[in-house]
Each structure stands twice: as C-alpha cells, then as structure tokens.
Amino acid sequence: MTSTQDAARAAQALGRSFTVGSLAVANRIVMAPMTRQFSPDGVPGDDVAAYYARRAVGGVGLIITEGTYVNHASAGSSERVPRFHGDVQLAGWAHVAEAVHQAGGRIIPQLWHVGATRVAGAPPVPDAPPVSPSGLALDGTPTGRAMTQADLDDVVLAFAEAAADAERLGFDGIELHGAHGYLIDQFLWDSTNQRDDAYGGDIVSRTRFAAEIVAACRRVVSPGFPVFFRLSQWKSGSYDARIAESPEDLDRLLVPLVDAGVDVFHASTRRYWLPEFEDSQLNLAGWVKKLTGKATVTVGSVGLDNEFGQAFVPNGRSGVDDIDALLERIEQDEFDLVAVGRALLADPEWTTKILSGRADELVPFRTEMLGTLR
C-alpha cells in the first residue's frame, strides 16, 4: 500500500465518529489509562492538564485518565497518584476536563481501588490496611484483611460519590477499573475470592460486588452519562490468569454487569491480535461485544512491535509497527474503539499522523519516557 492508501483506510476505519449516551467522540481512538505519578498529594496540576490537552490537540477522540483513587482509606499506595476526592484534588480535575474540552477532546476519569495490591504503611493513608475479598494477595499469600459488609458498603459509596463528582465537574463519563488484579477484579477471580457469603462462590456470585458498584454509579448520574467498565483476564504478575475459561463463563460474568448499567466494556489484553478462546479469532473485546451487544474498547500493544511488559524493562524500546491487523478487525466491527497507550505516550500526535498518512514520522517508545510528562 502507498501512504495515501494507508491513510485513507485508517481514516475510514478509525476516523468515524462514535456515540454512546450523551458522549459523542470524533473518532475511534482512545487514550488508554496510564499511571504516571505526577500528582503530588493526589492533586493534578497544570502540567497534568497540559499533558492530557496535548493528546486532545493531537486528535485523540476520547481520553481515559490514569487511575484515580476513590475516597476510601485503603484505595491507594502512592501520594503521587491523583485522587478523585477532596476539594483541591477535584478542582484540579475540573481544570483538566476544561483543558481537554477547550482542545476539542472528550475525557472520562478512571476510578480505582487497588485492594490487596496496596503496600501496608504506604501513603496516602499509612495506617490503612490492605483490604480484599478474602485477605489474600494475588499470589495467594495472606495480606491485610478480608472485607466486612461495612467495608463493601463504604467502597460502593466511594465509587458512587466519585461518579457523581465526575458528572458535576464536567467529565463526559466514567470508567470503573475492574481489571489487572485490583479490588473489583479480585472479587471476580476465584483465586483471590474465596468468600462463602453472597459475594463469593460461582462466577455469577463473584460478580455481585462489581455489579453493585456499577448500579450505585448508574443511580447517581444522568441516564445518558456513560459508564465504562474495564476488565481483563490477566493480572499484574499473573499474565496467564483467567476468570473465564470459555465463552459461556464470560457470558455469565457479563450479564450482571450489563443489567447493572454498563454502557461500554474496555477489554484489556496484552496483545490485541490474539484470540481469546479456541475455535474463534475474536479477541476479548470481540467476544464481549458478541455476547452483550454492548460497545467495546480493545487495547494491547497497538502500533508497537512488542508487548506491554517491555514498558518496564530498563532502557527498553518499542518500535513502531503497522496497524493492518487492527484495521481489518475494526472494519469487521469486532470492536468499536481502540485504546492506545505507550504509542500515545511517545507521540502525542500519534492519532493525527496515523489518520493523515504520516506514519513514517511516528516517534518510537522508550522506557525513559515513563519518567517524563510530555
């Protein structure tokens, strides 16, 4: 293909507008959430606003912010990760949303509770213990304590309050972080959820906590305010982990979330091109869309020549790769939106360059870029 042909194909597949509820975006490209720790005391400053606005200027249709801690003492493990509660923190986020909107973009915050992955004694609340479904770390060792019903209710409320604040501040929706081995995902995964009450047991029961959070958020926002839900099979440090071994398992997991009010599923994989189950080429986002009929976001090493883990290798690089396989899949409506992470971190103009046939100008990703706010 010539660059003109590449650009025309990319523009036709990725340059289409997309609408869900009251959210309308100019194209199918999403900035994936990436934790950067550039918010001292949990406050996103002018530099953070400029960072996100730069991607909106660069053509990204929808920005999903880095994970933000909800208002629960055990929600996080860093004083430099932004928080989505507190007057000063929320004022910072209002400025971020305004900056992105002025640049022509749309933005939703990712709401987060780290659960058992919290480091005991770490800020922002050193005295808060790690909490989780069963008091187990991802490797099965005891850590912190199992959540009581009061704990569960407090966390559900914290997510709902954050959702209401997001709409009040002018954001365009929310994303609930239910992936990668964090709290919501710890309830979904049988290895970390060994409860014998209504929140544990079979795959449907393990979904109850997530569904309660979705429903609580749905109740406090406008009907058209979209709720995204990020899910994954893999966990941090457990890349082969699986919640659903079959499409039937996945369907049982998804139905309660759909019923609770999820509008869009963000299906996180490390390599978007790999099939999720045997006898089908569909990836995880493709299967979720097929089973639920809901819009989905795919993600996983888009536009790069190696996978997610390379981001954490000292002096590592990820070369620019073509997106022919991605275009083929979205042309077939396997999924609706495409989240781009490291490639957008390396090059804020990635979207514009891809859609205008300037792929030869793309900037490769280097590990040291993780330590800067560009």
Cβ atoms of residues 339 and 231 within 8 Å: no
pLDDT at residue 315, as a whole number? 52
pLDDT at residue 364, as a whole number? 87
pLDDT, tens digit, 9 for 90 and up, residues 219-245: 999 999 999 999 999 999 899 999 999
Q: Using alpha carbons, list the distances in angstroms from residue 179 to 144, 332, 366.
A: 20, 26, 25
Q: Within the chain, which residues score under 50 in pLDDT?
A: 1-2, 308, 310-312
Q: Which of 52, 182, 199, 272 is catalytic?
A: 182
pLDDT at residue 184, as a whole number? 99
**CA-CA distance, 52 to 307, in Å (whole number)?**
23
Residue 51 designated active-site:
no
Domain that holds residue 113: 3-371
Tokens (6 digits) for 244: 């659903």
pLDDT at residue 2, as a whole number? 46
Among 143, 51, 59, 138, which residue's Cα sits nearest to residue 99? Answer: 51
pLDDT at residue 1, as a whole number? 41
Tokens 């009040």: give the residue: 168
Tokens (6 digits) for 139: 């490797």
Report the domain count for the chain.
1
pLDDT, tens digit, 9 for 90 and up, residues 49-63: 999 999 999 999 999
The model carries a pTM of: 0.95
pLDDT, tens digit, 9 for 90 and up, residues 193-216: 999 999 999 999 999 999 999 999
Q: What is the CATH number of the domain that holds 256?
A: 3.20.20.70
- Residues with Cβ within 8 Å of residue 141, at least 6 apart in sequence: none
User: SS in 3 state form for 171-224?
Assistant: CCCEEEEEEECCHHHHHHCCCCCCCCCCCCCCHHHHCHHHHHHHHHHHHHCCCC
Q: Specify the 3-state DSSP secondary structure of 69.
A: strand
In 10 A of CB 42, how many CB atoms?
22
Tokens (6 digits) for 216: 């609580």
- Residues with Cβ within 8 Å of residue 269, at least 6 apart in sequence: 232, 233, 234, 276, 283, 284, 285, 298, 299, 300
Helix (H) / strand (E) containing 249:
helix 247-260
Q: DSSP state, 268? A: E
Cβ atoms of residues 156 and 162 within 8 Å: no
